[in-house]
Amino acid sequence: MTTIIDGKQLAKEVNAQTKDRVAALTQRGITPGLAVIIVGDDLASAIYVRNKHKKATQLGINSIVRQLPATVSQAELVAIVQAYNADPAIHGILVQSPLPVGLDEQAIVATIDPAKDVDGFHPLNVGRLFANLPGKYPVSCTPRGIMTMLDSLNLHLRGKRAVVVGRSRIVGRPMAAMLINADMTVSVAHVYTKDLSELTREADVLVVATGVTHLIKRNDVKPGAIVIDVGMDRDENGKLTGDVDFDGVFDRAGAITPVPGGVGPMTIATLMQQTVDLCEWSEQLGND
């Protein structure tokens, strides 16, 4: 029987733990602080940022949302990041992606203090992840949330085959690194990959993050595979759907994430978890 991996329920469990950790910090006179910078008027980004603010506030995190006009200059944006870098009440800083055309997102992310890089996008933290360095550092929230989902299934990942479809900075690349670090044999497919279906059919764990509606169909999936859908696409009726044809794949997979209600809620829960990690690490309170 196929397991539907309930991201909403798992996010609730992660958030409950985060709330307890925030309460313990608050008792010691420390409140985790999160600064979210959003530039321009992209509707989807505005909704995601509102959801982050709402969740952070519910958990007792001090959340600051800095809304900036699309006309803000690169230098002004860098100055704002630097001010949060210097603010001891702020433990996590993120710049909502995408930024309007004309702003250099990579350059701005590189000005975030790596110890406050709650998205795990700073080149230093990306390098640490890819080198599988020991120690405490933030990593990209969506793939970290997916690793939490895989952990919840109590699988034996070592030596199994993983295929990641998509090579984005936010999901595909860090996902591949985390799966390699979990001792899986990992392939990364992308728009130039030939015979995609031949590759995906080998996957014990298939992660799809392409933005192509229903790219993955029943015959692209190995029977019993774990299928993780990171897609957030709109079908012809405007309904939210994923990169995987859920109805076609459902009874062939061993476990599968729905869209909505799968990976998305885990991204925000992991962001909150990581804000508290950064706060604890800065106070040297975190466990190994």
Ligand X SMILES: Nc1nc2c(c(=O)[nH]1)N[C@@H](CN(C=O)c1ccc(C(=O)N[C@@H](CCC(=O)O)C(=O)O)cc1)CN2
Q: Which residues are annotated as a binding site for NADP(+)?
A: 166-168
Nearer Cβ to ligand X (96/275): 96
Q: Which residue has the tokens 């020991």?
A: 134
Q: Which residue has the tokens 């990942």?
A: 157
Is 265 a binder of ligand X (CB under 6 A)?
yes
Q: Does the protein bind ligand X through residue 56 (CB under 6 A)?
A: no
Nearer to ligand X, 204 or 243 (CB): 243
120 contacts ligand X (rule: CB under 6 A): no
- Is 147 among the residues that bind ligand X (CB under 6 A)? no
Residue among 209, 122, 212 at smallest CA distance from 171 = 209
Q: Which amino acid is at 103?
A: L
Among 116, 117, 119, 222, the active-site one is 119
| Contact status: 148 vs ligand X (CB under 6 A) | no
Is residue 54 among the annotated active site residues? no
Say how many C-beta atoms besides its own lie within 10 A of residue 228's C-beta. Answer: 29
Q: Which is nearer to ligand X, 184 or 232 (CB)?
A: 232
Q: Tell me whether residue 82 is one of the annotated catalytic residues.
A: no
Biggest CA–CA distance in the chain, Å, is: 57
Of the two residues 25 and 108, which places its CB atom closer to ligand X in the complex? 108
CA distance 40 to 46: 9
188: enclosing H helix or E strand: strand 185-189
Exposure of 261 by Cβ count < 10 A (0-12 exposed, 13-18 middle, 19+ buried)?
Answer: middle
State yes or no: is 273 an active-site residue. Answer: no
How many residues can be counted in the chain?
A: 288
User: Scanning residues 199 to 258, which ones bind ligand X (CB under 6 A)?
Assistant: 232, 240
18, 125, 200, 267: residue in contact with ligand X (rule CB under 6 A): 267
Q: Residue 128 is which amino acid?
A: R
Our finding on whether 193 is near ligand X (CB under 6 A) is no
Cβ-proximal residue to ligand X, closest one: 264
Indicate which residues carry an active-site annotation: 52, 96, 119
